Amino acid sequence: MRWIVSGVGLLFLIAGYFYFSTSYNLSREAKREFNKGNFESSYQLATQALDIDPYNRSALSIFSQSKQRLNLQKFLQKTKHNYEQALEILKQSNVSPQEFLQLRWIVEEFEKDYRAVLILNNPNESEEMQLKQYKDWFLQLQNRLKEAQQSLQKIQNQAK
């Protein structure tokens, strides 16, 4: 009987530690923020929880998931900006050599960042769909740029 009471008491003590611990409270709050889609807030709360207790597995999990979402959101925002910038250049009737190089740089930047973001992150369905659309568009742009460069080289070779 004494062992049962001691066991139950120890169980309540351990449960109380995890329930009332500042680190675990912060990790629960981080999880709620993550579920709401507030990834920045979730990341900050999980970081605070890990500062208090680096062995808090719940906080580590939320920290990692939030960081992935933030990386993907940042990449998608940057890609959208580059996409809009490329569209502005392409709307012009003539593209200068500097603008042509800028378009090539935009495509190369997308390819480099795209590979890095997929290696380190696991996109959800919505993000994966956006990534695929941008990838297809930038691939088409890259092919058009190669065709334009080949045409220019042919013209230059014929002029010689």
Please report which confidence band the pLDDT of residue 10 belongs to, taking 50, 70 and 90 as the band edges: low
Place of tokens 């002029």: 159
Q: Do 114 and 121 contact (CB within 8 A), yes or no?
A: no
Q: What is the pLDDT of residue 104?
A: 93
d(CA 25, CA 64): 18
d(CA 12, CA 67): 34
Helix (H) or strand (E) segment spanning residue 26: helix 22-36
Please report which confidence band the pLDDT of residue 12 belongs to, taking 50, 70 and 90 as the band edges: low
pLDDT tens digit string along 68-110?
999 999 999 999 999 999 999 989 888 888 988 999 999 999 9
Instruction: Output the pTM of the full model.
Output: 0.79
d(CA 110, CA 97): 20
